[in-house]
Chains A and B, each alone.
Chain A
Amino acid sequence: MKKDIVLGGVGGQGILTIAATIGTAAVGRGLFLKQSEVHGMSQRGGDVMSNLRLSSNEIYSDLIPKGKADIIIGVEPMEALRHLPMLKPEGWLITNVKPFVNIPNYPNIDVILAEIEKLNHHVSLDADQIAKDLGSVKAANMVMLGAAIPFIDLDFAAFEEALQIIFGRKGQELVQLNVAALRAGMNEAQKFL
């Protein structure tokens, strides 16, 4: 098993939590992991990226080579597209359609969505809305992770266990919210398969 995942979003959107959840799930199943993060200046509202690599064999590089990513998970649609050159020809782009507008020249969202539609392998969903319906828009990142689960080759329980490890000390309510968000995202993604 080998999965290379690029996570894209804006500083503060919970990308590192997605990365930590996948990482914890993978290590829980005995896989090797490399997870490169962005800290520092870019976290101040700039575009942020994380490279996540899972494998049953030892992994060398912390960075995924260009054109080799199996999956791009975009917590924001323009940020998903920013990392497109990383994607394998047969790879999947999984993205939130809800824009995060913190720059004055944010492009027309319809043009962005049209670019996403051009890709043969894509899953797009309104993670913010789905999370809001579940009770907290903050869980949008977990909805996005859920949408990626069908493409990661790890069982759902591995992610549930990871959420328990990460959020357990903050209470079961939060764990359950995140699990529900995960499941809702996963169900939404099935529609694209």
Chain B
Amino acid sequence: MQKIVLLGDEAIAQGALDAGVSAVYAYPGTPSTEITEFVLRSKEHKSGAVVATWTANEKTSVEAAIGVSYVGKRAMACMKHVGMNVAADAFMNAPITGVNGGLVIVSADDPGMHSSQNEQDSRYYGKFAQIPILEPVNQQQAYDMMPYAFEMSERLNVPVLIRITTRLAHSRAGVVMGEKRAQNPLSLPKNPRQFVLLPSIARQQYHMLLENMPLIESESEKSGFNTYFDGANKKLGILTTGIAFNYLMENFDDGIEYPVLRIAQYPVPRKMIQRLYDECETIMVIEEGYPIIEEGLRGILDNGKKILGRLDGTLPREGELNPTIIAKAFSFELQVENTIPQVVTPRPPALCAGCPHTDSYNALNIVMEEFGKGRVFADIGCYTLAALQPLEAINTCVDMGASITMAKGAADVGLVPAVAVIGDSTFTHSGITGLLDAINCKSPITVMILDNGTTGMTGGQQSQATGKIEDICLGLGVEKEHIHVLNPIRKYHDENVAIMKQELKYKGVSVIIPRRECIITLGARIRSTQSEKV
């Protein structure tokens, strides 16, 4: 069998391709981006056999995937954990419609917030939606789970959530490939009302989902992905979820004497947990993410057996796990001889040399001088780095699109002028609706849409906004004379400052679009044309 080295993200992509997926939709977001990038590079996509596209946002991804499922084909939507919030409307209703073709949603969580604004645990979403969740322990399992996920989705008539975390997403290992399955033929749902969630129908469909729960639960006991490793020493029983198992085993070179229940599929396997609880004196719960199982095991009153985990301080309440944290939980002695020398200075990420955003912010900083700090509402992308030194140009970053709406709220109650700064891709992701709100209220805000022609932070994926921003703004109702496109280079600094100053005075919505290509994608484009010439 062929063994290839893949990132966890790529193992999921290859697994989906081999499972006969027909379409993959995603909005880029670390650490999920490489799943869709892999599919976009695949021969299956390039030959036209598999559809793969970046979408405006995660909600449109999931909805398109539901449409694919509706016609009987297998579909996957991929996102980072906070993308689940955007997709939640579609995600929460898909279990009520059920599926026709297999439907898999992948959420890549980011415990430790390496590249995110929170560390929310997507397993809550799976539980909320009452659907099966698969949480692979390693790259091989990530691959192996994909055919099963699609097959189970079709057999049990539910979407399936795959939950991974940063370390699996962005770590490579050898993966043994399996069989390749053909795609499903096009076929409409047998029940023409299955996807019509009118209350009268939705009640029946929801009832069916709940009736299905025993089957969904029994799947967790028998699929083989949840594994019980018995141990002779019953003083302690250990429950791990996802990759936490690896960090545990790393500390037991010669094998582990305690029983271990390794969970990789939800709803939790009740019988297996019961056995661990009955047979062991104390239970340790090691979860990469929020203490979901631990909380359930303790119950509201926490008056059962002694439980060790994130809630009693045995493990940290927050952040990503690692082998060293687990070693500390067992009070193993660490052989760490070296410390970081004092001379070592932090090196935070920064905007690249030659980045167009730097020029935009240099102009904005001059303009804002006369009003004082605290008036610039920004958004999520490379340009968020302007919160730090040396620019220190922005004051907020909450969620995709919040720049425009927060500026509107602040302006509505008297902070005038208020400025919103948003990237092109973020604008089409979630900024358009907020801009409409502002226009409808004639809110006195100035919106800067930093257009670098790409989704920069995640590595330069296609932006859905390219070539459309002015038309979108005009269509929404921004007045033509209050839309300005600037060239953010040093040469035009004074001119750009003058336009910004003028628009800040306007008591309505103005849009300023500093437009210059991302320096990274520009470089890559030049290199690829050069190599084509050779």
Q: Which A residues have a C-beta under 8 Å from some C-beta of B?
A: 10-11, 23-24, 27, 32-47, 51, 59-68, 78-79, 81-82, 84-85, 87-89, 102-108, 111-112, 115, 119, 170
Contact = CB atoms under 8 A, between A and B. Distances in A.
A48 to B, nearest CB: 9
A85 B336 contact: yes
A143 B458 CA distance: 29
B350 A67 contact: no
Interface residues of B, number: 52
B529 interface: no
B325 to A, nearest CB: 9
B382 A111 contact: no
Given A47-B347, A61-B323, A42 B247 contact: no
B293 to A, nearest CB: 20
Contact of A66 (B174, B334, B343, B351): B334
Contacts of B5: 23-24, 27, 33, 35
B218 interface: no
A63 B339 contact: no
Given A39-B31, A62-B243, A82 B344 contact: yes
Contact of A81 (B115, B171, B341): B341
Contacts of B7: 37
Nearest to B7: A37
B117 to A, nearest CB: 11
Interface centre among A37, A40, A107, A112 (most CB of B within 10 A): A40
26 contacts: A36-B170, A37-B171, A39-B115, A41-B30, A46-B349, A46-B350, A59-B173, A60-B246, A60-B250, A61-B246, A62-B168, A63-B167, A64-B323, A65-B322, A66-B322, A66-B323, A67-B334, A67-B335, A82-B344, A85-B336, A85-B338, A85-B339, A87-B338, A103-B345, A107-B343, A119-B338
A33 B174 CA distance: 7
Nearest to B332: A65
Nearest to B337: A89
B343 A46 contact: no
Contacts, number: 161
B231 interface: no
B459 A65 contact: no
Given A65-B323, A85-B340, A106 B345 contact: yes
Contact of A32 (B174, B245, B344): B174
A47 B114 CA distance: 12
5 interchain residue pairs of minimum CB distance: A40-B115, A40-B30, A46-B349, A67-B336, A62-B171
B353 to A, nearest CB: 8
A42 B112 CA distance: 13
Interface centre among A23, A36, A84 (most CB of B within 10 A): A36
A63 B341 contact: no
A44 B345 contact: no
Given A45-B350, A67-B337, A89-B335, A78 B344 contact: yes
Nearest to B389: A104
B34 interface: yes
A192 B170 CA distance: 34
B467 to A, nearest CB: 26
Nearest to A32: B174
B341 A115 contact: yes
B351 A61 contact: no
Contacts of B324: 65-66
A44 B343 contact: no
